[in-house]
Amino acid sequence: MDFRNEPLGRLARILALLSLFIGLGDAARLLGLGAGSASPILTIGTMGFILLSALTLMRLFAAVGLWIQSSWGAIILAASLAIELAFYLLGSNWVSLGLWGFIFKLGVMLATFGLLAIAQLSVRRQLAD
């Protein structure tokens, strides 16, 4: 399943850019930008740092996958957002999101699921023809 037709390809590229910006924002947080002189490991804890590192790598790889219009990029992005939102909803202190950050990431996750669903329907339609 790929996103080579016109509307799916554009949506995949938009999601790739969003994934890249989210991943770079997380990378900046890992480096301690905006935290003053406090260490990011001390600020979010060791497990939070490891979780944020894994999510950052997932999002950067997802951005590459979506940019080349491959389905594995969308799957990785959806998985990383689902993991982060699950940790947030379970009340973990490893993930810190505001209301607008939660709404934004939920919207990106739903758009990613929509992209995968539309691509799957497109494949089924092509097989039926």
> For 63-115, what is each residue's pLDDT tens digit?
999 999 998 999 999 999 999 999 999 988 888 888 999 999 999 999 999 99
Evaluate whether residue 41 is within a structural domain.
yes
Say how many C-beta atoms besides its own lie within 10 A of residue 114's C-beta.
13
Cα–Cα distance measured from residue 29 to residue 118, given in angstroms and rounded to the nearest whole number: 34
Q: Which of 122, 89, 125, 126 is nearest to 106 (CA)?
A: 89
Cα–Cα distance measured from residue 72 to residue 75, given in angstroms and rounded to the nearest whole number: 5
Cβ 109 vs Cβ 40: under 8 Å = no
Angle at 86 between CA 12 and CA 51, to 5 degrees: 85
Evaluate whether residue 40 is within a structural domain.
yes
Confidence (pLDDT) at 96: 81
Angle at 15 between CA 73 and CA 121, to 5 degrees: 70
Integer angstrom CA distances of residue 2 from 19, 31, 75: 18, 34, 12
Handedness of CA 112, 78, 27, 86 (dihedral sign): positive
How do residues 46-67 score in pLDDT, each as one tens digit?
898 999 999 999 999 999 999 9
For the entire predicted model, the pTM comes to 0.89
User: What percentage of residues in the chain have a pLDDT greater than 70?
Assistant: 98
Cα–Cα distance measured from residue 76 to residue 60, given in angstroms and rounded to the nearest whole number: 10
Evaluate whether residue 60 is within a structural domain.
yes
Evaluate whether residue 99 is within a structural domain.
yes
> What is the number of structural domains in the chain?
1
Evaluate whether residue 1 is within a structural domain.
no
Evaluate whether residue 119 is within a structural domain.
yes
Evaluate whether residue 107 is within a structural domain.
yes
What range does the domain containing 94 cover?
Answer: 6-128
Whether the pLDDT of residue 4 is over 90: the answer is no
Whether the pLDDT of residue 42 is over 90: the answer is no
